[in-house]
Amino acid sequence: MSCLGGLRAKLGSAWKAGVALAALVVVAGAPNATYAQGKKAELKVGFIAALSGPGMSWGMGMLGGLELAAEDVNKAGGVVVGDTTYTIKVIAYDDKYAGPPAAQAAQRLVSQDEVKVIFGPLGSVSMLAIADTTESNKVLVLSNSYTMKALSKDKPYTFRLTPTTAENSDPMVAFIAKDLPDAKTVAIISPNDESGKEVQSHSEPAYQKYGLKVISKEFYERGTQDFVPVLTRIMAQNPAILDLDGSTPVDSGVIMKQARQIGFKGKFVKVGGPGVADSIKIAGPAAEDLYYYSPWNPEEPKTKALTDRFEAKYKIPMNGLGIFFYEGAHMLFATMKQTKSVDTDVLRKALESQKEYMGLQGRYVWGGAKAYGINHQWIAPFFVGQVRKGAEVMRTKIEP
């Protein structure tokens, strides 16, 4: 049974979702699967992300993307390596968006479930927490997270599927600077944590490179609901652009609404993180003209078919992280087929020498040597969108 598939009834009926969550725990906690006799076997891949709590919607998107890719591969006959045909089985654990549960999950996946590949985790703290376990056991990790510390020469088995602002800020700001030639000043409002500081450290030099002066940088604690005092401080500087940085979609919506209420007349920009639909829902008309990073064009037919399939199966909208894990899982399974191996050393070297991967969204390449010292960062195509009349409009596609 699909782990997340059982959650499809969540929005319609609570008790069904409760049963599904219980099933998720049962599946996640199941003892080692018994390998079938002969030439068929299960290839267990681990998954770690927030499947409850505030990061749950992101985590569920990632898991759904992975499960749909596994479903595709299994339907197409699995992965053939030598004389063995593997069907993919996803074993998922909830890390509650925190380090200690992620470390425990990694330990369990490695020692009990004996996986050699882990997708996830979602958060930077979790990412750093699992590294010792995965690297020392040569487990291939295909992660999310935004921290610069996630990738380094010392972590040869760790790769990142989701592009960060280190990759996206520059081309996105270049487009905005060209689109708003009269804008000369920027204020950045960021959550006070690893990801907020990380995003700000990338966007600030990008703004300066394209002639936009960052005149105000403000941090707020996660959980803040009343941004008006900080916005009052920002407004005193009269910036032309207010960058919402790595704020969550909900926080971004609240910030835009409250900024407009106290008279902010400039443009909003969101360089960090996907999820603009929630921001529009919260901010309403205040979100008009917002420039935002989008991992996909929701109207592109292939993407739309995938998101429709996701929604039909799980009864929740697919989010931007889901597409990276769908594409990334397909890329890894294709690499297994090409190399005819599930050995992580073989796969690691194959990924490092992979020139490009053509996925649903277009061309993906491995990069990051300059920023991280190792080419383990997936560089994906992305879009700069803008909210117009309450709808998401894609302004440009940026290719790697």
Partner 1 sequence: MITTSTIAQILVNGLTSGAFYVLMALGFTLIFGILRLVNFAHGEFYMLGAFVVYHLTTQLGLDYFSAVALSALVIGLAGMMVEKTVFAPLRGRELSMLMSALGLQIAIQGVMAVVEGVDGFSIPSPVSGVYRSSWLAFPYERLLVVGLTIVVLAGFYLLIKHSTLGKSLRAVAQDGEAALMQGIPVNRVYAIAFGLGAALAAIAGGLIAPIFSLHVYMGQAALLKAFIVVILGGLGSIPGAVVGGLLLGVAESAFATLFGGLTAEMLGFLLIMGVLLWKPTGILARADG
- Chain residues in the site for partner 1 (CB under 8 A): 10-11, 14, 17-18, 21, 52-54, 56-57, 192, 218-221, 223-226, 228-230, 232-233, 236, 249-250, 253-254, 258, 261-263, 278, 281-284, 316
Token pair 């194959």 is at which residue?
350
> Token pair of 100, please?
């200690």
Euclidean distance between CA atoms 82 and 39, whole angstroms: 9
Q: Toward partner 1, which CB reaches closer, 220 or 293?
A: 220
Q: Beta-carbon neighbour count of residue 52 at 10 Å?
A: 14
Q: Toward partner 1, which CB reaches closer, 53 or 211?
A: 53
Q: Toward partner 1, which CB reaches closer, 126 or 377?
A: 126
Residue 114 contacts residue 44 (beta carbons within 8 Å)? yes
Q: Toward partner 1, which CB reaches closer, 55 or 78?
A: 55
Q: How far is the CB of 261 from partner 1 (least distance, A)?
A: 4
Integer angstrom CA distances of residue 324 from 2, 81, 162, 180, 220: 19, 25, 6, 30, 29
Q: How far is the CB of 263 from partner 1 (least distance, A)?
A: 5
Q: How far is the CB of 258 from partner 1 (least distance, A)?
A: 8
Euclidean distance between CA atoms 221 and 377, whole angstroms: 29
Q: How far is the CB of 370 from partner 1 (least distance, A)?
A: 31
Q: Toward partner 1, which CB reaches closer, 52 or 74?
A: 52
Q: How far is the CB of 277 from partner 1 (least distance, A)?
A: 9
Q: How far is the CB of 15 from partner 1 (least distance, A)?
A: 9
Q: Toward partner 1, which CB reaches closer, 230 or 331?
A: 230
β 185-191/117-119 pair status: unpaired
DSSP state letter for 7? G
Euclidean distance between CA atoms 219 and 278, whole angstroms: 21
Beta bridge partners of 143: 160
Ramachandran bin of 368, using left for φ above 0, alpha for ψ from -120 to 50, beta for the remaining angles: left
Q: Toward partner 1, which CB reaches closer, 37 or 225?
A: 225
Burial class (CB in 10 A: 0-12, 13-18, 19+), 353: exposed
- Candidates 3, 11, 1; CA nearest to 311 is 11
Q: How far is the CB of 253 from partner 1 (least distance, A)?
A: 6
Give the Cα-Cα-Cα angle 140, 146, 149 (nearest 5 degrees).
Answer: 65
Q: How far is the CB of 221 from partner 1 (least distance, A)?
A: 6
Integer angstrom CA distances of residue 313 from 323, 333, 344: 15, 22, 31
Q: How far is the CB of 362 from partner 1 (least distance, A)?
A: 29
Q: Toward partner 1, which CB reaches closer, 167 or 278?
A: 278
Token pair 């996660």 is at which residue?
222
Euclidean distance between CA atoms 182 and 198, whole angstroms: 27
Question: Is the Cα torsion angle 373, 377, 383, 384 positive or negative in sign?
Answer: negative
